[in-house]
Chains A and B, each alone.
Chain A
């Protein structure tokens, strides 16, 4: 192989790698990204079956029910709207009524089947995205920083 050919081959290889990386990124930013809502932002059109989304808000007071040792029902709310959530598994340690939580999962009719539940990490902290969302809806508790 001539030197010139070898270098062309290297350049070609680099371009192929770059192109495939760009394609991968473009494909995955469409497919593997989940949208985040607060309960009142969700309308019928978002309730697509099997589309993974995240919902952030507070666990509604007196809504938590333990069905068995590993399955739970609760409502997540931003005071304007609330959504019934079912979850199978182990809830995070910081999960409590009246506290902020983010749930990930899919809609099945009007019930949200959560596959992951994330709770707020410490007493004073709220993920920025929930904070924004709740500020917009006016359900904002001053004691959260």
Chain B
């Protein structure tokens, strides 16, 4: 029953959008009426999504999708997340988020009526495309042809609170760029004033913040769930989310250049189209199965073709209009060596190069396979040694960019910065000399700390501290950059200075980790609701009274006959101690211990970046 409601409301929503798309210009609806219809279709799409969720909640196995991906034993939260833990459901989630964005956009004030209508018509077109994709190739409301009273269960790797919320947030980021795309296309047609650029800025900041959160959640999940001690793999799935993120960052920064009439509209429109194209490319290429990924999804051919079709329509249509329609002339940029404008331009160039490098690395295997019929894989080493060097000048620039002037190329208090940089270099050099010398480590630490230091100097020497919202809005760019600096320090330490220890242990053995004695207490197996747990129990630092318990092991899920690793992580502010339980022979267990310094800084940095993303939304 709920499947029927869901399917009908989905079809009806697509119908309304079809009507709006066709008649938007013929009938010239009043904008109020137009907006009402948009909102109505959004609510219908949401209704469709929630009926699917309802089917999951009550374990309605007459729905084929629920039967394939759910099980009545599953905890409530995973029944909910099961809605989007599969291809069909996640596509419906994608469409629902698109609708939510249209819904909120229809409430935008102080924007030209025709402009708003045009933007929403383009949104309608997108809704129709993705809606038809769902109906014809990935319908989540198919009826199960056999009568069953139990489902096949959800992939146990996905049964994790982090991953349950990861897709909606990531998709909110991806799909958020749809509205930016629509605004940009509308901007090509109706370039009356610069007001729409401020609206675009708001929405691109919102999308970027969601995307940041989504990517961070994904890598945090990979860190504690996949059990290999790292948090970034340069897997195609990850690369694909990183591309719109960097392009989006370039977009946000070039929107900063909109001051009065002085705007580089064409570039902004280009970036907006690029961001959304990359988002579509990302979500859909992963699902089409063209890319070989260690964790990509199952796919069939008809989907792949449909996906590519949508991608070419969106991208082709976007860039075609972009080429045909010349935006009205805007004033020339005030480029000096080096002021804020030129710093922003260089930053944009670097980010686009970085995006293209990642894109090339990601699709290079496809190209080689088509041309030479050889299969290759491009992994971490390629990306580390291309993307990072390309970004380094950007990071250097970033530390001082917020205090550069718009008009002149004078830097205030330049002596303080020079002094700060020299002192910092000496400190980092001393650290490298006495502890671990590593070129990447040295560069990373210097850059990270320099960004933090320069931003702090800039805040204190330029502004007077006031505890008001306005003050936090003014210093926001510096705060965002401090976040990046902290993240760079975390990334550098956790990847360069990671320490790996291997042990072969019997129960009751004591061993030494980082100068602390650890006791391998015992191995224990327990039965949980939907899995069996095997746990190695460790006591960390037994010499102290408050020794910490660490549990590492594996879960066995009988329904899907799968095993997952559960790493035991002891979080400290300056390092994570990461236990992985391996195999055993003759009661001797293999235990791998990783010491990851300053991992927490990565997440802290990300949170700061997201915070300033939100603050920036509130500022015009």
Contact = CB atoms under 8 A, between A and B. Distances in A.
A93 B555 CA distance: 10
Counting contact residues on chain A (CB < 8 A from B), the size range is 35 or more
A126 to B, nearest CB: 9
Interface stretch (A8-16, A74-82, A105-113): A8-16
Contacts of A36: 374-377
A6 B376 contact: no
A14 B397 CA distance: 14
Given A35-B376, A89-B592, A90-B582, A24 B155 contact: no
A41 B320 CA distance: 44
A54 B292 CA distance: 13
B543 interface: no
Given A90-B580, A127-B294, A32 B378 contact: yes
Interface stretch (B476-484, B583-591, B609-617): B583-591
Contacts of A20: 389-390
Contacts of B283: none
A67 B349 CA distance: 53
Interface string B294-309: 1111101000000000
A49 interface: no
Interface string A1-30: 101011101100110011011001100110
* Interface residue SS majority, chain B: mixed
Given A21-B390, A24-B385, A29-B382, A128 B335 contact: no
Interface in B347-406: 349-350, 353, 357, 360, 364-365, 369, 374-379, 381-382, 385-386, 389-390, 393
Given A17-B393, A25-B386, A33-B377, A93 B290 contact: no
A115 B375 CA distance: 19
Contact of A121 (B295, B554, B584, B588): B295
Interface string B542-585: 00000000000010000011111100000000000000101111
Contacts of A89: 582, 592
Interface in A24-83: 24-25, 28-29, 31-37, 54, 66, 68-70, 72
A32 B361 CA distance: 10
A118 interface: yes
B144 interface: no
Contact of B585 (A14, A68, A104, A133): A68
B554 A128 contact: no
Nearest to A14: B349
Contacts of A90: 227, 565, 580, 582-583, 590, 592
B592 A3 contact: no
B562 A94 contact: yes
Max chain A C-beta neighbours (<10 A), residue from B155, B337, B345: B337
A145 interface: yes
A121 B382 contact: no
Q: Looking at A3, A18, A68, which has the most chain B CB atoms within 10 Å of its CB?
A: A68
B291 interface: yes
B293 A127 contact: yes
A112 to B, nearest CB: 16
A71 B293 CA distance: 26
Contact of A69 (B294, B376, B561, B590): B590
Nearest to A132: B375
Contacts of B583: 66, 69-70, 72, 90-91
8 contacts: A3-B336, A20-B389, A21-B390, A24-B385, A32-B381, A69-B583, A127-B296, A128-B292
Given A28-B381, A127-B292, 9 more contacts: A1-B337, A10-B337, A34-B376, A35-B374, A70-B590, A90-B583, A104-B377, A127-B293, A133-B375
Interface of B: 155, 157, 227, 289-298, 300, 335-338, 342, 345-346, 349-350, 353, 357, 360, 364-365, 369, 374-379, 381-382, 385-386, 389-390, 393, 409, 502, 504, 554, 560-565, 580, 582-585, 588-590, 592
